[in-house]
Amino acid sequence: MADAIELWGEDEWDSPYVFSAFVALREKGLEFQVRTLSLEKGDHRTGDYPSRSITGRVPALRHGDFWLSESSAIAEYLEDAFPPPRFPRLYPEGVRERARARQVQAWLRSDLLPLRMERPSSSIFLGEKVKPLGAEAQKAADRFLRACGELLPRGAVHLFGSFTIADADLALMLQRLLANGDPVPEPLAAYARGIWARKPIQEWVKHGR
């Protein structure tokens, strides 16, 4: 019998990092259960969750008796534990392309803080109202869109020829702008809409909240 898989997330269903891990699991075609914690109530700091997840953050993946947190680490683990060609790819086949995909993921998690703060993922998934971008957030948005123009070949529907988990993460960042009426060049908007239409992503978007 295969080891059971659980994805531990938060009960608001608006975390971009739980989103990424959820999409990775669905894209792999794996059976799993979602367990939710109330971050507002501090569930992630109580019981045995902090010691099992190590970081006390969400998402965390439980695969049998193995626990792992951090969304990009979860995606890389799933790629190794359920490898292609038996399971769909989450990362490009080429060494350089895989490195670039990981670069994109790391960049989106570690940079652009003013933009992420003023366009939180709750504004996408929960309809949270936002104000016009401040000066620093606008600078971050401009820098983000310029970088997207460098990353995406003209007219491309994927970063690397076919879908990767980096596409899901990049499309979510673009949705921070699109969902709030901020200007996005049409080629990038079309790319984001195409990625957003994927079944695993729409399953997350349409989940009851």
For residue 54, what are the CA distances in angstroms to 50, 70, 73, 104, 180? 6, 10, 13, 25, 35
Query: What percentage of the chain exceeds 70 in pLDDT?
Result: 100
- pLDDT band for 189, please (50, 70, 90 cuts): very high
Q: Mean pLDDT of all residues in the chain?
A: 96
The string of pLDDT tens digits covering residues 116-165 is 999 999 999 999 999 999 999 999 999 999 999 999 988 899 999 999 99
Per-residue pLDDT tens for 74-124? 999 999 999 999 999 999 999 999 999 999 999 999 999 999 999 999 999
pLDDT beyond 80 at 2: no
Using the 8-state DSSP alphabet, how is residue 94 labeled?
Answer: S
The reported pLDDT for the residue numbered 208 is 83
Q: What is the pLDDT of residue 66?
A: 97
**What's the confidence (pLDDT) of residue 178?**
98
The DSSP call for residue 209 is -
pLDDT of residue 1: 53
The domains located in the chain, with CATH, are 5-88 (3.40.30.10), 95-204 (1.20.1050.10)
Reduce the DSSP state of residue 62 to 3 states and report it: strand
- Half-sphere exposure at residue 76, Cβ-oriented, CA atoms within 13 angstroms: 13
Quickly state the pLDDT bin for 71 (edges 50, 70, 90).
very high
pLDDT value, residue 207: 95
Tell me: pLDDT of 209 over 80: no
Q: What is the DSSP string of 40-103?
A: TTTGGGSTTHHHHHSS--S-EEEETTEEEESHHHHHHHHHHHS-TTTS--SS-SSHHHHHHHHH
Whether 70 shows a pLDDT value over 70: the answer reads yes
- The answer to whether the peptide bond before residue 59 is cis (omega within 30 degrees of 0) is yes
Residue 164: name the closest of 122, 104, 117 by CA. Answer: 104
Which pLDDT value is given to residue 154? 86
pTM exceeding the 0.75 threshold for the entire prediction: yes
pLDDT classification of 48: cutoffs 50, 70, 90: very high
Token digits of residue 124: 């996408």
Confidence of residue 13 (pLDDT cuts 50, 70, 90): very high
Structure tokens at 13: 């269903």
Nearest-5° Cα angle at 154, 148 to 157? 80
Contact 79, 91 (CB under 8 A): yes
Residue with token string 């016009």: 132
Mean local confidence (pLDDT), 166-170: 98
Percent of the chain predicted with pLDDT > 90: 97
- Distance CA(135)–CA(152), nearest Å, equals 26
Kindly give the pairing relationship between strand 5-10 and strand 33-37.
parallel
For residue 108, the number of C-alpha atoms closer than 13 Å in the C-beta half-sphere is 28
